[in-house]
Structure 1
Amino acid sequence: MFDFLADFYLWTKSLHVMSVLAWMAGLFYLPRLFVYHVEGLQKRGVVRESEMEMLFRHQERLLYKAIMQPAMISSWLFGVLLVLTPGVVQWDMIWPWTKAASILGMTWFHFWCGGARLRLAEGVNTLTGRQFRMMNEVPTLFMIVIVLSVILKF
């Protein structure tokens, strides 16, 4: 039924990898912006607080809406196409399941970042810079499981 996808396998795989790279870049950087946002407002420097707040809100919104959202959607789209490509996934092995669980976790983290962005924009954030630093490690853990699953096929 999906045999035609085999003809586009290398293109699909390439587009999937590019999408994932863009998504991961955003997942690594947005929590770091949150750290700067929270801690930067505690330091009153040359830039007035309201200007700094507007700058952070603008950067966070653009990163999330213009880069991370499209990258997540295209990662999922090309990933599903790879799953549907005959012979790509060996469902009797553990690796597709560990990768799938990690992808679901990474997607959860993506939406958690979206919620944190909105809370910061609304001025109702309750997390500290240290807590955002800790959350910044979450996508790394998912990435490690995904890469090891796909490369080692355990």
Structure 2
Amino acid sequence: MAVEKQTDASAGRRAARRAFVALAVFLAVILAVYLLQPDNFDRWITAFHVIAVIAWMAGLFYMPRLFVYHTDAAIGSQQSETFKVMEQRLLKVIMNPAMMITWVLGLYLAWNLFGFQGGWLHAKIALVVLLTLAHMHQSRAVRQFAADGPRRSARYWRMMNEIPTVLMMLIVILVIVKPF
């Protein structure tokens, strides 16, 4: 009996199905809260926003680490092919949905709770735009690795790993402290 590898197509389809079900359940819970409109509705939306942010940040922190190791793998090797699968799944199953949910719920909160007012909020949104650009940069790198295109150095990806960290720290400070 052959052992199925997680890089096999059938394992990928099962992982995609599980991720789709989890995302559908999460969206159904958000919809249920929206339809029920509890007194603390905005707190529920804030909680869902924070959950999405955590998932997005986890992906933004992990993806450059995968790139560091992928850079060292020989093109065409089994290790390189495994990294391609890992990067694709991380991007499509976790990072992209989490980013979209973060944006939708974040814009709702900015509008509903703050009326898009406040210098701290404008600065936060600008930093989230930069975080989105970092996401897009990582997404482009996933496509380049998948095509066995030119690779940046492991050192480059180690440095790029710091950008989401710094942006996240600044965003958290703005949200909690609201300095201006």
TM normalised by structure 1 equals 0.86
2:138 is equivalent to residue 141 of structure 1: no
2:77 is equivalent to residue 50 of structure 1: yes
Aligned residue type for 2:106? G
Match of 2:125 among 73, 81, 100: 100
Gaps of 5+ in 2: 1-36
Could you say what secondary structure the match of 1:67 adopts? helix
Match of 1:64 among 77, 86, 91: 91
Could you say what secondary structure the match of 2:114 adopts? coil
1:87-140 Cα shifts (integer Å, max 9, x gaps): 43571x321111011000000110110001111111112310000110010101
- Distance in 2 of aligned mates of 1:55 and 1:129: 17
Q: CA RMSD in A?
A: 1.9
- Aligned pair count reads 143
Does the 8 Å CA contact 2:116/2:122 hold for their aligned counterparts? no
Does the 8 Å CA contact 2:67/2:157 hold for their aligned counterparts? yes
Does the 8 Å CA contact 2:64/2:160 hold for their aligned counterparts? yes
Deviating beyond 3 angstroms after TM superposition, the runs of 4 or more aligned structure 1 residues are 4-7, 87-90
Which residue in 1 is equivalent to 2:72?
A: 39
- Distance in 2 of aligned mates of 1:137 and 1:6: 39
1:9-51 Cα shifts (integer Å, max 9, x gaps): 0110000000000000000000100001012339xxxxxx521
Match of 2:147 among 94, 102, 122: 122
Which residue in 2 is equivalent to 1:15?
A: 48
* 70 and 51 in structure 1: CA distance in 2 versus 1, 3 angstrom threshold: same
* Alpha-carbon offset, residue 7 of structure 1: 5.0
Identity of aligned residues (%): 38
- Distance in 2 of aligned mates of 1:114 and 1:15: 24
- Higher mean C-alpha deviation, range 121-130 or range 23-32: 121-130
- Distance in 2 of aligned mates of 1:114 and 1:128: 17
Q: Identify which of structures 1 and 2 has the higher relative contact order when contacts are C-alpha pairs closer than 8 Å and 6+ apart.
A: 1
Aligned residue type for 2:48? L
* Alpha-carbon offset, residue 53 of structure 1: 1.3
